[in-house]
Structure 1
Amino acid sequence: MAATVKPIILLDVDGVLNPVARPGREGDPTELVLSDGTVSLVRRLARCGRIAWVSTWPADATASLESRLQLDEEPLRVTVSMRAEDIEEPTPKLRSVRRWLATKELLGEADWDAVVWIDDVLGSDAREWAHNHHQPVLLEKPAPAQGLSELHVVAVEVLTNDSPDD
Protein backbone atom coordinates (compact mmCIF):
# COMPACT_ATOMS: atom_id res chain seq x y z
CA MET A 1 0.00 0.00 0.00
CA ALA A 2 1.32 3.46 -0.93
CA ALA A 3 2.17 5.96 1.77
CA THR A 4 -0.31 8.77 2.34
CA VAL A 5 0.89 12.22 1.29
CA LYS A 6 -0.39 15.26 3.20
CA PRO A 7 0.27 18.39 1.18
CA ILE A 8 -0.20 22.06 1.73
CA ILE A 9 -2.90 23.05 -0.77
CA LEU A 10 -2.29 26.54 -2.10
CA LEU A 11 -5.68 27.73 -3.31
CA ASP A 12 -6.47 30.82 -5.36
CA VAL A 13 -9.91 32.41 -5.22
CA ASP A 14 -10.62 34.34 -8.45
CA GLY A 15 -10.57 32.05 -11.48
CA VAL A 16 -10.60 28.97 -9.23
CA LEU A 17 -13.44 29.24 -6.72
CA ASN A 18 -15.15 32.07 -8.60
CA PRO A 19 -17.20 33.42 -5.71
CA VAL A 20 -19.92 35.99 -6.10
CA ALA A 21 -18.97 39.12 -4.15
CA ARG A 22 -21.83 40.68 -2.21
CA PRO A 23 -21.31 44.04 -0.54
CA GLY A 24 -21.51 43.95 3.23
CA ARG A 25 -24.38 45.66 5.00
CA GLU A 26 -23.84 48.75 7.12
CA GLY A 27 -20.05 48.71 7.10
CA ASP A 28 -19.67 44.92 7.09
CA PRO A 29 -16.93 43.55 4.81
CA THR A 30 -17.62 42.16 1.36
CA GLU A 31 -19.05 38.65 1.52
CA LEU A 32 -17.79 36.02 -0.91
CA VAL A 33 -20.46 33.45 -1.73
CA LEU A 34 -19.67 30.06 -3.26
CA SER A 35 -21.92 27.62 -5.09
CA ASP A 36 -22.84 24.43 -3.22
CA GLY A 37 -20.81 22.44 -5.75
CA THR A 38 -17.70 24.49 -5.10
CA VAL A 39 -18.16 24.19 -1.34
CA SER A 40 -18.29 20.41 -1.73
CA LEU A 41 -15.12 20.35 -3.86
CA VAL A 42 -13.17 22.54 -1.40
CA ARG A 43 -14.26 20.34 1.52
CA ARG A 44 -12.90 17.33 -0.37
CA LEU A 45 -9.62 19.17 -0.92
CA ALA A 46 -9.44 19.93 2.80
CA ARG A 47 -9.64 16.18 3.51
CA CYS A 48 -6.45 15.80 1.46
CA GLY A 49 -4.31 18.45 3.15
CA ARG A 50 -4.14 21.89 4.73
CA ILE A 51 -5.64 24.72 2.68
CA ALA A 52 -3.71 27.99 2.35
CA TRP A 53 -5.29 30.94 0.53
CA VAL A 54 -3.09 32.43 -2.18
CA SER A 55 -5.21 35.41 -3.06
CA THR A 56 -5.09 39.16 -3.19
CA TRP A 57 -8.54 39.29 -1.58
CA PRO A 58 -8.37 40.87 1.89
CA ALA A 59 -8.45 38.60 4.94
CA ASP A 60 -11.97 39.69 5.92
CA ALA A 61 -13.28 38.54 2.53
CA THR A 62 -11.60 35.13 2.74
CA ALA A 63 -12.97 34.87 6.29
CA SER A 64 -16.46 34.95 4.78
CA LEU A 65 -15.44 32.00 2.60
CA GLU A 66 -14.20 30.14 5.65
CA SER A 67 -17.46 30.64 7.52
CA ARG A 68 -19.37 29.15 4.57
CA LEU A 69 -16.92 26.26 4.10
CA GLN A 70 -16.91 25.21 7.79
CA LEU A 71 -13.65 23.28 7.47
CA ASP A 72 -12.23 21.25 10.35
CA GLU A 73 -8.95 23.19 10.18
CA GLU A 74 -8.72 26.94 9.59
CA PRO A 75 -6.95 27.73 6.32
CA LEU A 76 -3.59 29.43 6.38
CA ARG A 77 -2.99 32.57 4.32
CA VAL A 78 -0.02 33.12 2.01
CA THR A 79 1.10 36.73 2.15
CA VAL A 80 0.88 37.91 -1.44
CA SER A 81 2.90 41.08 -1.90
CA MET A 82 3.11 41.97 -5.55
CA ARG A 83 5.88 44.11 -6.95
CA ALA A 84 5.37 45.94 -10.22
CA GLU A 85 7.73 43.51 -11.99
CA ASP A 86 5.73 40.49 -10.70
CA ILE A 87 2.77 41.49 -12.87
CA GLU A 88 4.89 40.88 -15.99
CA GLU A 89 5.93 37.38 -14.86
CA PRO A 90 4.12 34.27 -16.19
CA THR A 91 3.13 33.44 -12.58
CA PRO A 92 2.81 36.75 -10.71
CA LYS A 93 2.35 35.12 -7.27
CA LEU A 94 5.34 32.77 -7.54
CA ARG A 95 7.79 34.99 -5.64
CA SER A 96 5.31 35.36 -2.76
CA VAL A 97 4.61 31.61 -2.67
CA ARG A 98 8.31 30.72 -2.67
CA ARG A 99 9.03 33.20 0.14
CA TRP A 100 6.06 31.99 2.23
CA LEU A 101 6.98 28.31 1.88
CA ALA A 102 10.64 29.03 2.75
CA THR A 103 9.60 31.06 5.81
CA LYS A 104 7.30 28.30 7.06
CA GLU A 105 10.13 25.77 6.68
CA LEU A 106 12.63 28.05 8.42
CA LEU A 107 10.21 28.49 11.35
CA GLY A 108 9.59 24.73 11.56
CA GLU A 109 5.93 25.24 10.63
CA ALA A 110 5.99 23.26 7.38
CA ASP A 111 4.37 20.00 8.41
CA TRP A 112 3.50 18.95 4.86
CA ASP A 113 5.35 16.58 2.56
CA ALA A 114 4.12 17.90 -0.78
CA VAL A 115 2.73 21.07 -2.34
CA VAL A 116 -0.44 21.39 -4.39
CA TRP A 117 -1.00 24.75 -6.06
CA ILE A 118 -4.36 25.40 -7.70
CA ASP A 119 -4.41 28.69 -9.59
CA ASP A 120 -5.68 29.86 -12.95
CA VAL A 121 -2.40 31.76 -13.56
CA LEU A 122 0.44 29.23 -13.52
CA GLY A 123 3.11 29.72 -16.17
CA SER A 124 6.35 28.16 -17.27
CA ASP A 125 8.18 29.67 -14.30
CA ALA A 126 5.85 27.81 -11.91
CA ARG A 127 6.45 24.55 -13.80
CA GLU A 128 10.21 25.06 -13.56
CA TRP A 129 9.95 25.85 -9.84
CA ALA A 130 7.76 22.75 -9.28
CA HIS A 131 10.26 20.56 -11.13
CA ASN A 132 13.13 21.79 -8.94
CA HIS A 133 11.31 22.02 -5.59
CA HIS A 134 12.62 19.62 -2.94
CA GLN A 135 9.14 18.13 -2.33
CA PRO A 136 6.62 16.75 -4.82
CA VAL A 137 4.53 19.52 -6.38
CA LEU A 138 1.21 19.18 -8.19
CA LEU A 139 0.13 22.19 -10.24
CA GLU A 140 -3.53 22.36 -11.22
CA LYS A 141 -4.62 25.17 -13.54
CA PRO A 142 -8.39 25.53 -13.90
CA ALA A 143 -9.83 27.47 -16.80
CA PRO A 144 -10.98 30.75 -15.20
CA ALA A 145 -14.49 30.60 -16.64
CA GLN A 146 -15.07 27.08 -15.22
CA GLY A 147 -12.94 27.21 -12.08
CA LEU A 148 -12.28 24.28 -9.78
CA SER A 149 -13.70 21.02 -11.09
CA GLU A 150 -14.07 17.38 -10.16
CA LEU A 151 -10.98 16.55 -12.26
CA HIS A 152 -8.77 18.91 -10.25
CA VAL A 153 -9.93 17.47 -6.95
CA VAL A 154 -9.50 13.89 -8.16
CA ALA A 155 -5.90 14.71 -9.17
CA VAL A 156 -5.23 15.84 -5.59
CA GLU A 157 -6.98 12.78 -4.17
CA VAL A 158 -4.82 10.52 -6.36
CA LEU A 159 -1.66 12.29 -5.16
CA THR A 160 -2.69 11.88 -1.53
CA ASN A 161 -4.24 8.42 -1.85
CA ASP A 162 -7.44 9.89 -0.42
CA SER A 163 -10.66 9.23 -2.29
CA PRO A 164 -14.28 9.79 -1.26
CA ASP A 165 -14.68 6.01 -0.89
CA ASP A 166 -11.84 5.68 1.68
Structure 2
Amino acid sequence: MKPLILLDVDGVLNPMGRPSLDFRRYLCTVEGVDYTVFLDPRHGRRLLELADSTGAELVWATTWEHHANDWIGPRIGLPELPVIPMTPAVPGEHGELFKTRHVAAYVGRRRFVWFDDQVWAEDEDHLRVRQGLHDFLLVHVDPEEGLTSRHLGMAHDWLTLTGFSQGS
Protein backbone atom coordinates (compact mmCIF):
# COMPACT_ATOMS: atom_id res chain seq x y z
CA MET A 1 0.00 0.00 0.00
CA LYS A 2 1.16 3.49 -0.79
CA PRO A 3 2.43 5.60 2.10
CA LEU A 4 0.49 8.76 2.90
CA ILE A 5 1.49 12.42 3.09
CA LEU A 6 -0.98 14.19 5.37
CA LEU A 7 -1.44 17.94 4.91
CA ASP A 8 -2.72 20.55 7.30
CA VAL A 9 -3.65 23.99 5.95
CA ASP A 10 -3.47 26.70 8.62
CA GLY A 11 0.06 27.12 9.92
CA VAL A 12 1.44 24.79 7.22
CA LEU A 13 0.29 25.93 3.77
CA ASN A 14 -1.22 29.14 5.17
CA PRO A 15 1.43 30.53 7.55
CA MET A 16 0.35 32.72 10.45
CA GLY A 17 3.38 35.02 10.25
CA ARG A 18 4.22 37.61 7.66
CA PRO A 19 4.47 35.60 4.42
CA SER A 20 7.22 36.15 1.88
CA LEU A 21 6.55 37.70 -1.51
CA ASP A 22 6.10 34.18 -2.92
CA PHE A 23 2.71 33.97 -1.19
CA ARG A 24 -0.51 35.29 -2.66
CA ARG A 25 -3.45 36.57 -0.64
CA TYR A 26 -6.88 35.02 -1.17
CA LEU A 27 -10.27 35.67 0.34
CA CYS A 28 -12.24 32.45 0.89
CA THR A 29 -15.84 32.14 2.02
CA VAL A 30 -16.61 28.88 3.80
CA GLU A 31 -20.13 28.32 5.09
CA GLY A 32 -20.78 32.07 5.14
CA VAL A 33 -17.54 32.99 6.95
CA ASP A 34 -14.77 34.94 5.19
CA TYR A 35 -11.17 33.84 5.66
CA THR A 36 -8.00 35.45 4.37
CA VAL A 37 -5.34 32.91 3.45
CA PHE A 38 -1.82 33.34 2.12
CA LEU A 39 -0.71 30.55 -0.20
CA ASP A 40 2.48 29.85 -2.12
CA PRO A 41 1.52 28.43 -5.52
CA ARG A 42 4.85 26.51 -5.62
CA HIS A 43 3.72 24.30 -2.73
CA GLY A 44 1.42 22.30 -4.96
CA ARG A 45 4.17 21.40 -7.43
CA ARG A 46 6.59 20.56 -4.62
CA LEU A 47 4.08 18.34 -2.84
CA LEU A 48 3.18 16.54 -6.07
CA GLU A 49 6.88 15.98 -6.75
CA LEU A 50 7.34 14.60 -3.22
CA ALA A 51 4.42 12.22 -3.66
CA ASP A 52 5.57 11.12 -7.11
CA SER A 53 9.22 10.57 -6.12
CA THR A 54 8.29 8.52 -3.04
CA GLY A 55 5.23 6.67 -4.35
CA ALA A 56 3.06 8.33 -1.71
CA GLU A 57 -0.51 9.64 -1.75
CA LEU A 58 -1.42 13.17 -0.65
CA VAL A 59 -4.33 13.48 1.81
CA TRP A 60 -5.91 16.48 3.54
CA ALA A 61 -5.66 16.30 7.37
CA THR A 62 -7.18 19.66 8.18
CA THR A 63 -10.24 21.17 9.80
CA TRP A 64 -10.90 22.67 6.36
CA GLU A 65 -11.89 19.11 5.45
CA HIS A 66 -13.51 19.03 1.97
CA HIS A 67 -13.29 22.82 1.72
CA ALA A 68 -9.55 22.36 1.19
CA ASN A 69 -10.37 20.80 -2.19
CA ASP A 70 -12.53 23.82 -3.05
CA TRP A 71 -10.39 26.67 -1.77
CA ILE A 72 -6.79 25.58 -1.14
CA GLY A 73 -5.88 22.86 -3.66
CA PRO A 74 -6.89 24.76 -6.81
CA ARG A 75 -4.90 27.83 -5.75
CA ILE A 76 -1.67 25.89 -5.32
CA GLY A 77 -2.12 23.43 -8.17
CA LEU A 78 -3.23 20.31 -6.32
CA PRO A 79 -5.89 17.98 -7.71
CA GLU A 80 -8.80 16.91 -5.54
CA LEU A 81 -7.38 14.90 -2.64
CA PRO A 82 -8.89 12.43 -0.18
CA VAL A 83 -9.93 14.04 3.11
CA ILE A 84 -9.64 12.74 6.66
CA PRO A 85 -12.90 13.62 8.45
CA MET A 86 -12.12 15.72 11.52
CA THR A 87 -15.49 15.75 13.26
CA PRO A 88 -16.37 15.46 16.00
CA ALA A 89 -13.60 17.62 17.45
CA VAL A 90 -13.31 15.82 20.79
CA PRO A 91 -10.35 16.98 22.93
CA GLY A 92 -7.51 14.52 23.38
CA GLU A 93 -7.33 12.53 26.59
CA HIS A 94 -3.56 12.72 27.12
CA GLY A 95 -2.62 16.08 25.62
CA GLU A 96 -2.70 14.91 22.01
CA LEU A 97 -4.24 17.04 19.27
CA PHE A 98 -7.91 16.22 18.64
CA LYS A 99 -7.00 15.36 15.04
CA THR A 100 -4.64 12.59 16.10
CA ARG A 101 -7.36 10.00 16.73
CA HIS A 102 -8.95 10.81 13.36
CA VAL A 103 -5.58 10.40 11.64
CA ALA A 104 -4.96 7.05 13.37
CA ALA A 105 -8.37 5.76 12.30
CA TYR A 106 -7.78 6.83 8.69
CA VAL A 107 -4.21 5.58 8.18
CA GLY A 108 -4.72 2.11 9.61
CA ARG A 109 -1.32 0.42 9.28
CA ARG A 110 -0.05 2.52 6.36
CA ARG A 111 3.22 4.45 6.65
CA PHE A 112 2.67 8.20 6.74
CA VAL A 113 4.23 11.61 7.06
CA TRP A 114 2.08 14.28 8.72
CA PHE A 115 2.79 17.98 8.19
CA ASP A 116 1.09 19.95 10.97
CA ASP A 117 1.89 22.92 13.17
CA GLN A 118 0.26 21.38 16.23
CA VAL A 119 1.81 17.90 16.45
CA TRP A 120 4.01 17.30 19.48
CA ALA A 121 5.44 14.48 21.61
CA GLU A 122 1.96 13.73 23.00
CA ASP A 123 0.71 13.00 19.48
CA GLU A 124 3.65 10.72 18.76
CA ASP A 125 3.10 8.92 22.07
CA HIS A 126 -0.60 8.50 21.35
CA LEU A 127 0.07 7.05 17.90
CA ARG A 128 2.88 4.72 19.03
CA VAL A 129 1.60 3.57 22.42
CA ARG A 130 -2.16 3.81 22.25
CA GLN A 131 -2.63 3.07 18.54
CA GLY A 132 0.31 0.70 18.06
CA LEU A 133 1.57 2.55 15.00
CA HIS A 134 5.31 2.74 14.33
CA ASP A 135 5.95 3.71 10.72
CA PHE A 136 5.25 7.42 10.67
CA LEU A 137 6.99 10.77 10.78
CA LEU A 138 5.40 13.78 12.41
CA VAL A 139 6.81 16.96 10.90
CA HIS A 140 6.15 19.91 13.17
CA VAL A 141 5.91 23.04 11.02
CA ASP A 142 6.51 26.44 12.60
CA PRO A 143 3.14 28.17 12.04
CA GLU A 144 4.80 31.55 11.61
CA GLU A 145 6.90 30.28 8.70
CA GLY A 146 4.82 27.51 7.16
CA LEU A 147 6.01 24.59 5.04
CA THR A 148 9.61 24.88 3.82
CA SER A 149 12.03 22.96 1.62
CA ARG A 150 13.61 21.59 4.81
CA HIS A 151 10.31 19.97 5.82
CA LEU A 152 9.83 18.50 2.36
CA GLY A 153 13.40 17.17 2.42
CA MET A 154 12.84 15.50 5.80
CA ALA A 155 9.72 13.81 4.45
CA HIS A 156 11.48 12.72 1.26
CA ASP A 157 14.40 11.23 3.16
CA TRP A 158 12.16 9.39 5.62
CA LEU A 159 9.80 8.03 2.96
CA THR A 160 12.72 6.93 0.80
CA LEU A 161 14.61 5.25 3.64
CA THR A 162 11.58 3.54 5.15
CA GLY A 163 10.41 2.49 1.72
CA PHE A 164 13.70 0.73 0.97
CA SER A 165 13.94 -0.83 4.41
CA GLN A 166 10.43 -2.26 4.07
CA GLY A 167 10.81 -3.43 0.49
CA SER A 168 8.17 -1.05 -0.93
After superposition, the Cα gap between the structure-2 partners of 1:83 and 1:36, relative to the gap in structure 1 and judged at 3 Å, is: closer
Q: Which residue of 2 aligns with 1:18?
A: 14
State which of 39, 42, 59 in structure 1 corresponds to 2:47: 42
Instruction: Measure the CA separation in 1 of the matches of 2:93 and 2:143.
Output: 18
Contact conserved, 1:120 with 1:143, CA < 8 A, in 2? yes
> Aligned ranges for residues 58-137 of structure 1 at < 5 Å?
58-71=65-78, 74-86=80-92, 89-102=95-108, 113-132=110-129, 133-137=132-136
Deviating more after overlay: 48-57 vs 141-150: 48-57
Contact conserved, 1:21 with 1:31, CA < 8 A, in 2? yes
Q: Which residue of 2 aligns with 1:57?
A: 64
Segments of 5+ residues of structure 1 without an aligned counterpart are: 106-112
After superposition, the Cα gap between the structure-2 partners of 1:86 and 1:129, relative to the gap in structure 1 and judged at 3 Å, is: closer
Q: Which residue of 2 aligns with 1:142?
A: 141
Q: Which residue of 2 aligns with 1:110?
A: none
Cα drift, residue 67 of structure 1: 2.0
Instruction: Measure the CA separation in 1 of the matches of 2:142 and 2:154.
Output: 15
The one-letter code matched in structure 1 to 2:146 is: G
SS of aligned partner of 1:45: helix
After superposition, the Cα gap between the structure-2 partners of 1:160 and 1:95, relative to the gap in structure 1 and judged at 3 Å, is: closer
After superposition, the Cα gap between the structure-2 partners of 1:10 and 1:23, relative to the gap in structure 1 and judged at 3 Å, is: closer
Cα drift, residue 61 of structure 1: 4.1
Instruction: Measure the CA separation in 2 of the matches of 1:68 and 1:14.
Output: 14
Instruction: Measure the CA separation in 2 of the matches of 1:45 and 1:63.
Output: 22
Deviating more after overlay: 76-85 vs 126-135: 126-135
CA deviations over 1:82-106 (Å, ceiling 9, x no partner): 444349833221111122234xx7x
**Aligned residue pair count:** 145
Supply the RMSD in Å over aligned alpha carbons: 3.1
Instruction: Measure the CA separation in 2 of the matches of 1:116 and 1:61.
Output: 18
Aligned-residue sequence identity (percent) comes to 26
The one-letter code matched in structure 2 to 1:139 is: L
CA deviations over 1:107-152 (Å, ceiling 9, x no partner): xxxxxx4111111111222111344544511110011000111111
Cα drift, residue 75 of structure 1: 1.5
Pick the structure with more strand per residue: 2
The one-letter code matched in structure 2 to 1:115 is: F
With normalisation by structure 1, the TM-score equals: 0.69
With normalisation by structure 2, the TM-score equals: 0.69
Q: Which residue of 2 aligns with 1:160?
A: 159
